[in-house]
Chain A
C-alpha cells in the first residue's frame, strides 16, 4: 500500500459500483486513479453517473461495491466531515445567515483554530480570489460571479489537498463563465491542489482540464487529455459528445496497413483509420470526421484518396467561419467548417462538389 502514497495514485476508484434502488446500476465498474495535482474533469450528459461519483468521493453517497481511496487510504467508512475534501457546489451553498468572512471562517472554527490565525487565513483566501473588500457582506448582496469566488475560497481556506467542484459555473452567464474558468484553473495551478471537476459543458472540460473522463451510462467512455479526446475519440459516443462531428455509416471491407476501407451504404468507398476494436472486415461501423478536417478544394486533397460527391444544401455565415451543410452519401446533416479567409469560396446551395480528407482524420468507430 505504501507505493499508493506516491503522487500518481492520490485518488483512486477501484471497481466502484453504485445503485440507488437495487435494480439498476447508476455507476458501473468505475476504475480511475488520479495523480496529486491533477485537474480532472468528469464530463457527461445528465444521468451519466458523474455527479454520483463525485458525491461518493465527497462521502455523501456510499459506494454499493468497490473501494475509494484517498492518499492510499480507503475512505469508504470515513464520514464526509473527516475526509478533509473541499467542495464547491452548483448553487454555491454559501450560508445565507453568515457574512462572507464568517462563511470562510466556518471550516476553520470547526477545526478549533485560534481567532487570529482564522482571520489571517480568511484574509489570505479572500485576497486570493480578489474579494478582500467583501468580507462583511452577506452572500445575498453579491453577484453570481462573486458568490462563486467566495465558494471557491471557502473550499480552499482550510487547505484541502483535494477540491471537488460540482458544475460550479452552471449558473453564470457565458462571459463570466469563461473568465472564471481561467480563474479557477490559475488558482488550482498556483496552489498545486488536486481538482475533480464535474460539468456537462464540453468547452469547459476541454479548456480547463489536464484529463477528461467522459461518462455515459455509468461508465467512463474515455479518459484522456483534451486534445487526444477531441482528435482521437475512441468510440462514437465520445466522438459525438465532444465537439461537432459528422457520422457516416457503412461496412468494413478490408484492413490493410493501418488503413481500413469502408463501403458506405450508398456503395461509395472511403479510407479510414480503424480505431475501435470491433472494426474488423465485414463488421458494421460508424465513421467519424470533424467538420473542419473536410476538404473540398481539389488542389489541397492528397493524391489517391477516395473522394465523395456532395451537394451543398445550406450556407451559414458565422463571422470567423463558414458553416456549410451538405448531402453526403444520403446523410443530409453533413457539416463542413471553413475559415473565413480572403481566398475562401462561399458555397452556394445547389452546387455539386467533391469532398475528401486525410485518412487518419477519418476514424472508424463502433457501430
Chain B
C-alpha cells in the first residue's frame, strides 16, 4: 500500500510505465490502471454511463413499484400502530388525564371533566366525536353510543349559568369583540391558559367555517373555562380590567358539576373502565391493533388474552395456514403427474394439453368459483349423480360447499396451473438419458424415478409450492364465495375490517402479521431448501 502512495506522489510525475511497473510489482495492493489511478476507480468511471442508462431504463418500473407497492405497504405498516385520533380529538382530556391513577378505583377529577367538556364540544362542532366513538368502540363496546350521546348532550349542559353570571357582572363579556381584544394580549392569555387554548381552537374552527370570531356569540364552554381559570387564581398579570373584577367575584358564583352533567347524559362516564380505555389509547402510537390481531388486549397489568368468546384471529391464522398447506399438497399430488405427462409427450401433443392446463387462466375467477358452487352444492351435479347411483341417500346429501372442503377443492383447481407450469418447465430440462442411465446401471423403474428423476424435479416443486402457498395464504374471492363460515381465510376478515367495520388499523395489523408470516416462511424455505434451488424454467 505505502510504496504505491510513495511512487505516485513522488517528485517525478508518474508515467504509465511506472504505473504498470508498480501494478506488476505490487501484487498485494490495489491494481493500478495505466494512468496510475486505481483500476477499480477507472473501471467504475468507465461503467458509470452504462449504469446510468440502465437506471434510466428501469426508472419507470421502479417508480411504479415504489408508488403502487412499497408506499401502500409502508402506509399499512404505519396504520397498524398509528393512534393519533384520541390525542387529536381530546387534546385537553388526554393531558388532564395523564396523572390519573386508573387502579385507584376513583373517578378522574372535575378538571378532567372540564377538559372533556371542551374537547367534546369542539369535537361535536367539527363532527369528529363519532369517528372517535367508532375507534374507541373497537376497544370497549358502548363507546360509540356514549360519544354520540355526549355530542348531543354537551350543548344542553347547564353551564349557561356561568355565562349569565359573567354577563351580570359585566355585560361586555357577551360581546365577542371584547374576547378577541382580550385574547390578543399575551399577558391575558398567560393568566387564563385553559381559556386561551379553548379560545384558539374556537377561533380556528370559526375561521375554517368562514365566520368572524368577533361577531359569533361566545359559547357557554368558554365561560366555563374562564370560570375554571379564575378559580385557579394566578390572574395577577392580566391586563384586561374585567379579569381582576371577575376574579374577585367568582368566589361567590353558583357552580355546576360537569361530572354530574356528563353522568346525566350517560352514567358510563362515571365508569372507571371508560376512563381507563381512554387513558390506554391516548398515546400517538399503540400496540392495541396488534394485540387485538392475536386475540389479546391491554389489561390492567399489560397485555392479556381476550375472553374465550372473543378469540378469533389466531384460529383464523391457523386455519389459513393449514388450508393453504392442504391446498399446496393437493396441487403437488394432482399437478405432478400432469406435468410429467406434459414433459414426456411429443411437443405437439404437449402443446395441446398445455392449452387445457392454461384454459382456466383465461376463464374468469368468479365463473370458475361459481361453477364449483353449482357442482358441489347439495342440489348440485355431484350430489345428484351420487344419489342417482344410489351411493348417497337422498335425505343425506353431502355438504361439500360453504365449508373447508369446498374452499380446498375450488382453490386447488384455481391454483393448479401455478403448480404445473414450474414443474413442467423443470421436468422439460431433464433429459431422458438420466432415467436410461439409471436403468442401465441396474435400477428398477421405481428406483430410477425416485432416486434420479424425482430429486431433479424438486426445484420445480419448490417453486410451484412457494407460488401456490403464498397465493393461497392471501386468497380472498374464492373463500368468500364458497367458504361459508368454516372455510374463510384471514384475508376475508381483513377485507371485512377494511370495507365493513372500517377498522383499518386492525386490518393493517392483520395484514402486517400475514406479510411477516409469509416472509418468515420464505426465509425458512430458503434455509431448508435454498432459494437458489427454485426454478421457474
Residues on A close to B: CB < 8 A?
A: 58-60, 79-87, 89-91, 93, 95-97, 106-107, 110-111, 154-155, 158, 164
Contact assessment for B437 and A87 in the assembled complex, using a CB-CB cutoff below 8 Å = yes
Chain A CB count within 10 A is highest, among B438, B442, B443, B455, for B442
Task: List residues of chain A with CB within 8 A of the CB of B448.
Answer: 81
Contact of A93 among B431, B445, B451 (CB under 8 A): B431
Contact assessment for A111 and B434 in the assembled complex, using a CB-CB cutoff below 8 Å = no
Chain A CB count within 10 A is highest, among B437, B441, B456, for B441
Chain B CB count within 10 A is highest, among A59, A83, A107, A164, for A107
Q: Complex Cα distance A40/B307, Å?
A: 84
- Given A106-B451, A110-B447, CB of A93 within 8 Å of CB of B433: yes
Contact assessment for A84 and B442 in the assembled complex, using a CB-CB cutoff below 8 Å = yes
Task: List residues of chain A with CB within 8 A of the CB of B455.
Answer: 97
Contact of A95 among B434, B439, B440, B445 (CB under 8 A): B434
Contact assessment for B440 and A80 in the assembled complex, using a CB-CB cutoff below 8 Å = yes
Q: Complex Cα distance A335/B452, Å?
A: 52
Contact assessment for A95 and B452 in the assembled complex, using a CB-CB cutoff below 8 Å = yes
- Given A87-B437, A93-B437, CB of A111 within 8 Å of CB of B431: no
Task: List residues of chain A with CB within 8 A of the CB of B444.
Answer: 81, 110
Task: List residues of chain B with CB within 8 A of the CB of A110.
Answer: 441-444, 447
CB-CB nearest in chain B for A163: B440
Contact assessment for B440 and A87 in the assembled complex, using a CB-CB cutoff below 8 Å = yes
Q: How far is the CB of B422 from chain A (nearest CB, A)?
A: 17
Task: List residues of chain A with CB within 8 A of the CB of B441.
Answer: 81, 86-87, 106-107, 110, 154-155, 158
Q: Complex Cα distance A3/B204, Å?
A: 117
Contact assessment for A106 and B438 in the assembled complex, using a CB-CB cutoff below 8 Å = yes
| A-B complex: 7 closest residue pairs judged by Cβ atoms | A93-B437, A107-B441, A87-B440, A93-B433, A80-B439, A97-B455, A110-B443
Number of A-B contacts (CB under 8 A): 67
CB-CB nearest in chain B for A58: B440
Q: Complex Cα distance A106/B440, Å?
A: 11
Contact assessment for B442 and A111 in the assembled complex, using a CB-CB cutoff below 8 Å = yes
Q: Complex Cα distance A107/B452, Å?
A: 12
Q: Is B436's CB within 8 Å of the partner chain A?
A: yes
Contact assessment for B456 and A85 in the assembled complex, using a CB-CB cutoff below 8 Å = no
Contact assessment for B443 and A93 in the assembled complex, using a CB-CB cutoff below 8 Å = no
Interface size on B, residues (CB 8 A): 19
Task: List residues of chain B with CB within 8 A of the CB of A58.
Answer: 436, 440
Task: List residues of chain A with CB within 8 A of the CB of B437.
Answer: 87, 89, 93, 95
Contact assessment for A81 and B456 in the assembled complex, using a CB-CB cutoff below 8 Å = no
Task: List residues of chain A with CB within 8 A of the CB of B447.
Answer: 110
Contact of B433 among A59, A89, A158 (CB under 8 A): A89
Task: List residues of chain B with CB within 8 A of the CB of A85.
Answer: 440
Task: List residues of chain A with CB within 8 A of the CB of B452.
Answer: 95, 106
Contact of B442 among A89, A96, A107, A164 (CB under 8 A): A107
CB-CB nearest in chain A for B448: A81
Task: List residues of chain B with CB within 8 A of the CB of A106.
Answer: 438, 441, 443, 451-452
Task: List residues of chain A with CB within 8 A of the CB of B433.
Answer: 89-91, 93
- Given A81-B444, A106-B451, A110-B447, CB of A93 within 8 Å of CB of B439: no
Q: Complex Cα distance A79/B441, Å?
A: 12
Of the A-B pairs whose beta carbons lie under 8 Å apart in the complex, a sample of 8, sorted by A's number, is A81-B442, A89-B433, A89-B436, A93-B433, A95-B437, A95-B456, A106-B438, A107-B441
Q: Complex Cα distance A155/B436, Å?
A: 12
Q: Complex Cα distance A80/B438, Å?
A: 10
Chain B CB count within 10 A is highest, among A58, A97, A155, for A97
Q: How far is the CB of B35 from chain A (nearest CB, A)?
A: 39
- Given A95-B452, A97-B455, CB of A81 within 8 Å of CB of B434: no
Q: How far is the CB of B426 from chain A (nearest CB, A)?
A: 12
Q: How far is the CB of A181 from chain B (nearest CB, A)?
A: 22
Q: How far is the CB of B306 from chain A (nearest CB, A)?
A: 49
Q: How far is the CB of B442 from chain A (nearest CB, A)?
A: 5
Q: Complex Cα distance A96/B429, Å?
A: 12
Q: How far is the CB of B436 from chain A (nearest CB, A)?
A: 5
Q: How far is the CB of B382 from chain A (nearest CB, A)?
A: 42
Q: Using an 8 Å CB-CB cutoff, how does the interface string of B22-39 with A read, 1 for contact, 0 for none?
A: 000000000000000000
Q: How far is the CB of A330 from chain B (nearest CB, A)?
A: 48
Task: List residues of chain A with CB within 8 A of the CB of B436.
Answer: 58, 60, 80, 87, 89, 93
CB-CB nearest in chain A for B440: A87
Task: List residues of chain A with CB within 8 A of the CB of B440.
Answer: 58-59, 80-81, 83, 85-87, 155, 164
Task: List residues of chain A with CB within 8 A of the CB of B442.
Answer: 81-82, 84, 107, 110-111, 158
Task: List residues of chain B with CB within 8 A of the CB of A79.
Answer: 439
Q: Complex Cα distance A87/B440, Å?
A: 6
CB-CB nearest in chain A for B436: A60
Q: Using an 8 Å CB-CB cutoff, how does the interface string of B447-488 with A read, 1 for contact, 0 for none?
A: 110011001100000000000000000000000000000000
Q: How far is the CB of A90 from chain B (nearest CB, A)?
A: 7
Q: Complex Cα distance A83/B451, Å?
A: 20
Q: Complex Cα distance A93/B433, Å?
A: 6
Q: How far is the CB of A255 from chain B (nearest CB, A)?
A: 50
Q: How far is the CB of B91 from chain A (nearest CB, A)?
A: 66
Q: Complex Cα distance A155/B456, Å?
A: 21
Q: Complex Cα distance A185/B90, Å?
A: 94
- Given A81-B440, A107-B442, A111-B442, CB of A91 within 8 Å of CB of B431: yes
Q: Complex Cα distance A96/B448, Å?
A: 14
Q: How far is the CB of B135 from chain A (nearest CB, A)?
A: 56
Q: Complex Cα distance A211/B433, Å?
A: 27
Q: Complex Cα distance A52/B441, Å?
A: 19
Contact assessment for B431 and A96 in the assembled complex, using a CB-CB cutoff below 8 Å = no
Given contacts A79-B439, A97-B456, A164-B440, list 7 more A-B pairs with CB under 8 A. A58-B436, A58-B440, A89-B433, A93-B431, A95-B456, A107-B443, A111-B442
Q: How far is the CB of A169 from chain B (nearest CB, A)?
A: 16
Q: How far is the CB of B218 from chain A (nearest CB, A)?
A: 85
Q: Complex Cα distance A83/B439, Å?
A: 9
Q: How far is the CB of A195 from chain B (nearest CB, A)?
A: 14
Q: Complex Cα distance A58/B437, Å?
A: 10
CB-CB nearest in chain A for B454: A97
CB-CB nearest in chain B for A90: B433
Q: How far is the CB of B149 from chain A (nearest CB, A)?
A: 71
Q: Complex Cα distance A279/B247, Å?
A: 144
Q: How far is the CB of B459 from chain A (nearest CB, A)?
A: 10
CB-CB nearest in chain A for B443: A110
Task: List residues of chain A with CB within 8 A of the CB of B438.
Answer: 95, 106
Q: Complex Cα distance A84/B440, Å?
A: 7
Q: How far is the CB of A36 from chain B (nearest CB, A)?
A: 20
Task: List residues of chain B with CB within 8 A of the CB of A111.
Answer: 442
Q: Complex Cα distance A206/B148, Å?
A: 102
Task: List residues of chain B with CB within 8 A of the CB of A82.
Answer: 442
Q: Complex Cα distance A106/B439, Å?
A: 11
Q: Complex Cα distance A83/B448, Å?
A: 15
